[in-house]
Amino acid sequence: MFPPLVNPPRPTDATAPRSTLALGYVAGALQGLAVVTLPASASVVHGQLGLDDARYGALFLAQTATAIAGALAAGAIARAARARVPLSALLAFALAAHAVALASLVAATVVAPLPACLLAAAALGLGFGVGAVPLNALPAAVAPSRRPAATVAMHAMVGSGFAIGPAIVGLALAHDRWSLAPLVLAVVTLAVAAAVLRTRMPTPPSPPATATTAHARRLGTLGAIAVAYALAEGTLSNWITLFLHDGRGVDGPLAALALSGFWAALAGGRLLASVVLRRTSAFSLWQALLSLMALVLAALPAVQGPASGIVAFIVAGLATSAVFPLTVALAGERLGLRSETAASVSTAALMTGVGVGSFVIGALREALGFDTLYRLGALYPLLALVLGRVGFARREPPSQR
């Protein structure tokens, strides 16, 4: 628990130092590193610790549930207690939760594995959900004139953590020093949490309130768009290795390389998008990326070997890269929602959609096969595109809720 904080006057958008946003970028990278440490450590958790498939899968159910709860709770806190609970406190809490999770993973090697791993998964989800609110609100507060590009850059830092984390864990495993990876990361995360807690982070301005029915309509629009996109992301990201290995006979290391290529392209694509946004609108780029996602999903059945598989999933990573952060940014620009509200609703919808999308593949794979499921999956980004063209078509007046 964090003690009540007495804050000095918060800096305005014009006076907030760039170092504040830079610290947020560091925190975003650490969030990605922490969250990916669990699946990257699967050989330890699933193998050495003896968790079977059912128990291993339960870890991600716990992580998803706490991520949704954390995002919604943090959004509510940010809206109701802006003066008493600044963005820095929420972000520091999220980082502290990640540190607890990483320490719990190591503790699982010396205590009862299942409870320790469940605690780790739940804490990772909680930290991810809570952290999504300040990490998405900070770019709007510090750099409102560059909100879409700054938001995409923030997500690029989170994506870099996802891409780099498995390599760090793999290096530790190769030297038979697995526990060093989560322990060192936990210490670094706590140090950054302390720095965040001492930083004055600006709060996004509160626009005038709007009618409850209009606000509910905007939230519903955002939630539907985010879920439709997340269904596509879950269909793509969580079944790459099994599709290539089981469905196309690709060797395990090459199938894993395709997965790494997807996440690396996702992180790199976000950095590229932050540059492209200097020359095009956020809405135009958002539409183009969703269209590319649909094309990739429809084309995946044509993949036959490792080369085409790796290329296909790199393109999929590029297509997926900036859709979610742009959705959050457009919710503020086009729907008039506050940053905290957009971040909490979008993150909860993302976790729900990714979980459902992954489950649908697992439940129907034997009956329909990957090829049919990928062709049907192309409808998800098209649905998000249609919803967005209607929902984002005109700018709404800002909302305080």
3-state secondary structure of 95: helix
Residue with tokens 């395709």, as numbered in its chain: 258
For 41-86, where are the alpha helices, taking DSSP H only?
A: 42, 53-80
pLDDT at 400: 45
d(CA 113, CA 387): 44
Q: Dihedral through CA 77, CA 79, CA 82, CA 87, nearest 10?
A: 70
Average pLDDT over residues 162-181: 84
pLDDT at 36: 84
Output the average pLDDT for the chain: 81
Tell me the domains of the chain and their CATH numbers.
18-197 (1.20.1250.20), 212-391 (1.20.1250.20)
Residue with tokens 């804050």, as numbered in its chain: 7
Average pLDDT over residues 38-51: 76
| pLDDT score of 55 more than 90 | no
Q: 337-359, pLDDT tens digit by residue?
A: 777 777 788 888 888 777 777 66
| pLDDT score of 198 more than 80 | yes
d(CA 353, CA 359): 10
| pLDDT score of 9 more than 50 | no
Provide, rounded to the nearest whole percent, the portion of the chain with pLDDT above 70. 86
| pLDDT score of 201 more than 80 | no
Average pLDDT over residues 261-269: 87
| pLDDT score of 264 more than 80 | yes
| pLDDT score of 143 more than 60 | yes
d(CA 112, CA 50): 11
pLDDT at 395: 57
pLDDT at 214: 67
Cβ neighbourhood burial of 356 (10 Å; 0-12, 13-18, 19+): middle
**Crossing angle for the helix pair 113-142 and 147-174, to the nearest 10 degrees:** 150
pLDDT at 141: 74
| pLDDT score of 154 more than 80 | yes
Question: pTM here?
Answer: 0.73
